[in-house]
Chains A and B, each alone.
Chain A
Amino acid sequence: EADIYQTPRYLVIGTGKKITLECSQTMGHDKMYWYQQDPGMELHLIHYSYGVNSTEKGDLSSESTVSRIRTEHFPLTLESARPSHTSQYLCASSEFQDRVGTYEQYFGPGTRLTVT
């Protein structure tokens, strides 16, 4: 079944550790996104990608970095985790066909990160 997968779902880690949040999609979408969200609060776009080797920064400044080496894979890395990075991170992908006027975006289940 086509879906977006994120691992780990929950992560508790100490300050200063390097972490990578994984996101993979089997939707066949070109575009992928990372959002940061405190529970039930606003969705802040932190990174997006139009396709392989494309990465852009979003609206919310983030110390994280992303890469897009394969269409289906869009990992997010924090080189040195801090308590201020504690949040939920949601991955998403979308299909955008301007010619036919279609656009749909779907979210993964999220990774809840706690930095102690």
Chain B
Amino acid sequence: GENVEQHPSTLSVQEGDSAVIKCTYSDSASNYFPWYKQELGKRPQLIIDIRSNVGEKKDQRIAVTLNKTAKHFSLHITETQPEDSAVYFCAALDTGRRALTFGSGTRLQVQP
């Protein structure tokens, strides 16, 4: 089955700086990689995703990159704001089970 590792587990940045969260996956057949943001006491929300036929996708201040050869993908947040503070989860689609396998999460703290 799929195994997803996520780093770092905590990340503290100053407002306006960039933040990068990295994930690796094990199943070369995986073809879908979403990122979720979970604010305190709320449900995880899908913020961006990427499919294996593209290398990069951007949506305003967030971007995701995918390196299929190395089996890793990253989330980039530019010009961070205090409202970006949350726990971020990466995931990879286990194509056998058709279920997402999640990373362990990164707690991002943006200091004003």
Identify the A interface with B (CB < 8 A): 31, 33, 39-43, 45, 48, 50, 56, 58-59, 90, 94, 96, 101, 103-110
Contacts and interface: CB of A to CB of B under 8 A. Distances in A.
Contacts of A94: 98, 100
A101 B105 contact: no
Interface of B: 1, 31-32, 34, 36, 38, 40-46, 49, 51, 53, 87, 89, 93, 97-102, 104-105, 107
Contacts of A109: 42-43
B85 to A, nearest CB: 12
Contacts of B89: 43
A71 B30 CA distance: 26
A40 B107 contact: yes
B34 A101 contact: no
27 contacts: A33-B99, A40-B38, A40-B105, A40-B107, A43-B89, A43-B102, A43-B105, A45-B99, A48-B97, A48-B99, A56-B97, A59-B1, A90-B44, A94-B98, A94-B100, A96-B98, A101-B31, A101-B51, A103-B93, A104-B46, A105-B100, A106-B46, A107-B36, A107-B43, A107-B45, A109-B42, A110-B43
Contact of B87 (A33, A40, A96, A108): A40
B43 A50 contact: no
B99 A43 contact: no
Contacts of A90: 43-44
